[in-house]
Amino acid sequence: MNILKPGVLLIAAALTMQAFAQVPGVPAPKPREVSLTERSDLARSIAARFGRNLPTDTSYQAAGPFRIASNKQFSYLERSDNPTSSAIELPDYGLGTKPLDPAANSRDVLLPRALTVLKKAGYPVDELSFANFQDEYIGAGQPQLLPKDFDPRKDALLVARSLRFERISAGLPVFGSEVLVGLLPDGSIGRLRYHAPPLDPVALKAASELARQVAAGGWKLPPELDADGIKVLDLRAGLGVSSFASVQPRSAPVVRVTFRRIGSDASLPLQSTRAAYYDAKGVEVVLDDVIATPPTAATLKTGR
């Protein structure tokens, strides 16, 4: 039987951080020893949040602000500069062979359970807004024999359902924050990725002003997006924060533009979709300093 289980944690990425692509001029975080103090910090976090102790077979790794405790029971990752930015996964989560009943695991059922378990674990939930489900399926088959209209939602078993949340602060979206939680049948956490760093009040105020500018029609698309072959799909103002994996935390008031570029070759109409951040003057803002950075909108337009 083939098991389809997406890698949703950043743990594997953190373990191979030296292989990350870097923004030019930003040094890669170097692997380092995990001190006894940090090991104690990890043990306290895991016990307080999840009621679990670190077994003797636990291995420890660290690079930059990331520190990891991994064993046969679970893998856990947190940032030393903001320990609420953390992730945990149990190896059995998403590997069930019994189908999950969507009706018995609806939003009305799972949402209050997820919020309760997050609060119990000490994670702030006041700014979280349910976005959608991330469903996982299990099935068997030969890829080359699958029909073109193959849909795993119809032809495989639903075995796990995680809840994804967006973050809203002072009425504004906080781009870059991410919360994903999956519950085990007993109601405990089987998977969690939580990244909702503290916000700079000054940056949040500036983001509100930018949102008013956008709403009033005073913000203009940068020239590279106002061009043939590019279709703007969504445009929203808010506060952008750097991702979980970024070494240096950053934030800035931004306009997030989601756009699609359509190739000029009519016989092979290739399309690419991405989102980019821009400041009040329409200059692109890059918040992350690790992981391969997508090409800028100007690069997409020129093909360079």
Q: How far is it, in rounded angstroms, from Cα 89 to Cα 13?
A: 14
CA–CA gap between residue 73 and residue 49 (Å, rounded): 15
Beta-sheet strands, E only, within the chain: 31-32, 59-63, 66-70, 75-79, 82-89, 128-138, 157-169, 172-175, 178-183, 189-195, 230-241, 251-262, 271-278, 284-285
Residue 287 pLDDT more than 80? yes
End residue of a domain, out of 195, 214, 239: 195
Domain match, 133 and 222 both: no
Number of folded domains that form the chain: 2
Alpha-carbon span 169 to 244, nearest angstrom: 18
Integer Cα distance of 289 and 245 in angstroms: 8
Residue 230 corresponds to which tokens in the numbers above? 């590019």
> Do the domain assignments include residue 4?
no
How do residues 239-258 score in pLDDT, each as one tens digit? Answer: 999 999 888 899 999 999 99
205 within domain boundaries:
yes
Query: Which one, of 38, 39, 71, 47, lies nearest residue 57 by Cα?
Result: 71
- Is 18 inside any structural domain? yes
In a domain, 276, yes or no: yes
Report the Cα 143 to chain-centroid distance in Å.
28
Which tops the pLDDT comparison, 298 or 224? 224
Total-model pTM: 0.83
Q: Which of 195, 214, 245 is the last residue of a domain?
A: 195
Among 155, 179, 195, the domain-final residue is 195
Amino acid 88: pLDDT: 96
Residue 289 identity (one-letter amino acid) = D
Same domain? For 175 and 206 the reply is: no
Question: pLDDT tens digit string along 153-180?
Answer: 777 888 889 999 999 999 999 999 999 9
Q: Is the pLDDT of residue 303 over 50?
A: no
- Residue 270's pLDDT is 66
pLDDT given at position 149: 79
**Are 237 and 273 part of one and the same domain?**
yes
Q: What is the mean pLDDT of residues 179-193?
A: 93
Q: Are residues 43 and 144 in the same domain?
A: yes
